[in-house]
Every structure is written in C-alpha cells, then in structure tokens.
Structure 1
Amino acid sequence: MGGYDERDLVRRGYDALSYHYRADDADDGGYAPWLADLHQRLPAPAAVLDLGCGCGVPAARFLADAGHQVTGVDISDVQVARARRLVPTATFLRADATRLDLPPASFDAVVCLYALIHMPLADQPKLIERIATWLRPGGWLLTTVGRDAWTGTDDNWLGGPATMWWSHADAATYRSWLHRAGLTVTVEDFVPEGTSGHTLFWARRPER
C-alpha cells in the first residue's frame, strides 16, 4: 500500500468513525494528568500545537480553557469540523501533519497523542525533526507512540463501518529519533492498553 493510500485510509477512517472514537461530551480519556502537567510547565499564555487533534476533545479544549493559544491539525475533515464547533477559541487546520510547513521557534509546546502512529513510518522521524524546529528553546513535546514495532489494519475498528491503519516503531527507536532531532527525553512511561500499550514521551528542546 503506497503512502497516499495509507494517509487516505486514515482520513476516510476518521471521517467515518469520528463519533465512534469520541463523543462530543466524552471524558478526558485519561489525558487529564498529562495535560495538567503540561499546563504547569508552560508560560501563560503559551502557543501550543496539537498534531492529530481529532475533534478537539480533550487536549485542545483543555489547553484552550486553560488560556493557551491552541492550533490543532488533523487530516480528517469531519474531525476538524467538530473541533471548530467544540473548541471555538482555538484554530484548526485540515492538513497532513507530515507535510506541514510552519515557522521555526513558533510554539512553546507540541502535543501529538496517538497520532504519530497513524502516519507512514518513513515520515515519522522527519516529522519529529521538524517538530524540534517548531519548538521554542525550552519548549516541550508530549507524545504517545508505539512500544513494539507493528504495522497493520483493523477492518472493523471500534465496531464501526471503516478500516483503520497504524504503523509504529518500538520505543527504543522513537527515543533515538527524539535524540537525533536534538530533543532531550525527560520522561518515558509505558501506557497500558488491552494486552499491550503505548509509550509516553516528554521531550524538551534545550534552552540554548
């Protein structure tokens, strides 16, 4: 499956499964402690980029409600339309995160939760390198990635009418990509999910 087809599968999947994945009134999905921690680390107000923002809940909404200037990016038209409705104080772009061109040193933090793993594996280290340039000195990346290497699909994800696709490396590979991008990993945690789980990284651009 070529790169375009992979991206299109994810886009069409979230267009179809947006409400299966998260309702308008969904809870924080376990993100609240991470987002509260991020808020405590940021200046007030901060500029925050939410890559793979989905419908804007919970990350963009939490951070916007905390007074930060949030820009969300998602590949799904349905997700972005919902985000604009649910978090009207934030700015949302319908775009492929791997093809974004943003000014250097323009964000105090980048959040990328359960989104990098929906992008073609070859594009992921390149995106991490670009994220590092978008961060201001001392800025934070909060991201969840794979624990074990895996690429595959689920034809009836969440019991819905569409296929979803993922591709991720193992935690050690992500750690090496973060280091190669010039970011300092300060926390690496395992986040269990079902019989497996994900890896949570906090990584920081050096102050100088």
Structure 2
Amino acid sequence: MAAENPKDVVRRGYDALSMRYDEAYQSDTKYASWIARLNARLVDGSRVLDLGCGNGVPVVRDLVRAGHHVTGIDISEVQIRRAQELVPDADFITADATAVDFPDASFDAVVSLYALIHVPLEEQLPLLGKIASWLRPGGWFLCSTGQHEWTGVDENWLGSGVAMWWSHADADTNRAWLTRSGLTVVQEEFVPEGDSGHALFWARRPL
C-alpha cells in the first residue's frame, strides 16, 4: 500500500485541532511583536500574503486592522472557515501553498509562520523561489523555519490522538535557500520552543 501523502496528515490534523492549537500555542501573544515590526516596515494600504494563515488570528487580523489588504492561504478547510468568520475583511483561499501562484511583484510582504515546516523538503526551495517572485522590489518576507533538521510524525499531537507531520532543514540550510531564491536575509532570530526552537527570518527582495 502506498504511503499516505504527508499533506493529508497536516490537513487532517489542523481540521481536527484548530481550536486546540490556539489554546496550546497562544499565537496572539507570541506573534504580536513580529506583526508590529512588520507593520512598521510597510506603507499604509500594503498588500500582504499570509501563507499558512490558520484561523487568521493574529497575523491577518492585525494587519487588516492596520489598514493593509491581506490574503490568507491555508490547506485546512476548518482553519479557513474560522478565518472567514474571525476576519471578514480579508480574502481567504483554501489551498496547498505550493500549488498557488500569483503574478510577479503582487505583494509588499509575505508572511509564513510555522507553515513551511509542514511542506515536504523537496518542495520548500521551489516555493521560496515563487515567494521571492511574488514580492515587489523592497518587499519583506517574514518566515519561521526549523532550527535543526528533522522530518517525522507525532501520532499524538497535543495529546489529542491526532497525528501531525513536519519536515524541516536546519537554519543554515534555510538561510542559504532564502539567498538562493534571490532574497537578502536582513535579520535572523532564534525562537525557543520546549527543548529546541525555530529560526525566524526577515528577508527582502532587493530593490
């Protein structure tokens, strides 16, 4: 029997645990300073794409409140349905991030927090190349990636009995991939989580 597509594991996991994820990770508090810093780098009415937007809170919500035009994409129908209810003034699309496309220079910023780590490794570099092309010259890409290389499944994610799948390279590889995609890494931070953590990158498409 063929192995299950890991994207189906991810989709099913977020469909089942959308509410529990919010409670477990307190993203509202965790992301606030990052969104504020991004907003400070954007002009009023910027166009922003959130890849892996989840339920739209807080990234899409806060950027819409700041006066920006935001499009959110997520693979989970449940997450998108909640996002449409929570942030009715944004545009949302249920889709695999690797399967969407936009014209060159469509966005002033692209955000992808804790989403690239759910994309198969071999698809991450091509996706980063697409993201770079979607940015306008000078546009920002804010993303979190793995700090250490790992691919695997947690069969009991958040103690729920529901499986979740991740795949990520280490921070050095992710930095190299961003550069190879044509972006300039401006800043890199380590975000602790449990006994490990993630890398947070601020990158720009050159002017």
> Scaled by the length of structure 1, what TM-score is found?
0.95
| Post-superposition offset of 1:161 | 3.4
Deviations 1:38-61, CA, capped at 9 Å, x for gaps: 000001110000000000011111
Count of residue pairs the alignment pairs up: 205
Equivalent AA in structure 2 for residue 77 of structure 1: E
Alpha-carbon contact 1:17-1:161 (below 8 Å) kept: no
Change (3 A) 1:27 1:195: closer
Unaligned runs of 5+ in 1: none
- The residue number in structure 2 matching 1:177 is 177
Q: Equivalences for 1:49-128 in 2 at 5 Å?
A: 49-128=49-128
Q: Equivalences for 1:1-208 in 2 at 5 Å?
A: 5-22=5-22, 28-207=28-207
Change (3 A) 1:134 1:101: same
| Post-superposition offset of 1:160 | 1.7
Unaligned runs of 5+ in 2: none
Aligned residue for 2:162, secondary structure, equals coil
Change (3 A) 1:3 1:199: farther
Alpha-carbon contact 1:149-1:168 (below 8 Å) kept: yes
Q: Which runs of 4+ in 1 moved over 2 A?
A: 1-4
Alpha-carbon contact 1:51-1:110 (below 8 Å) kept: yes
| Aligned CA-pair RMSD | 1.5
Equivalent AA in structure 2 for residue 202 of structure 1: W
Q: d(CA) in 2 for partners of 1:177 and 1:21?
A: 29
| Post-superposition offset of 1:116 | 0.2
Q: d(CA) in 1 for partners of 2:120 and 2:79?
A: 20
Q: d(CA) in 1 for partners of 2:4 and 2:66?
A: 36
> Scaled by the length of structure 2, what TM-score is found?
0.96
Equivalent AA in structure 2 for residue 96 of structure 1: D
Q: d(CA) in 1 for partners of 2:184 and 2:100?
A: 23
Aligned residue for 1:156, secondary structure, equals strand
Deviations 1:37-92, CA, capped at 9 Å, x for gaps: 00000011100000000000111111111111000000000000000000000000
Report sequence identity in percent: 61
| Post-superposition offset of 1:3 | 8.7
Aligned residue for 1:28, secondary structure, equals helix
Q: d(CA) in 1 for partners of 2:95 and 2:76?
A: 8
Alpha-carbon contact 1:151-1:167 (below 8 Å) kept: yes
| Post-superposition offset of 1:27 | 5.9
Deviations 1:92-124, CA, capped at 9 Å, x for gaps: 000000111111100000000000000111000
Equivalent AA in structure 2 for residue 6 of structure 1: P
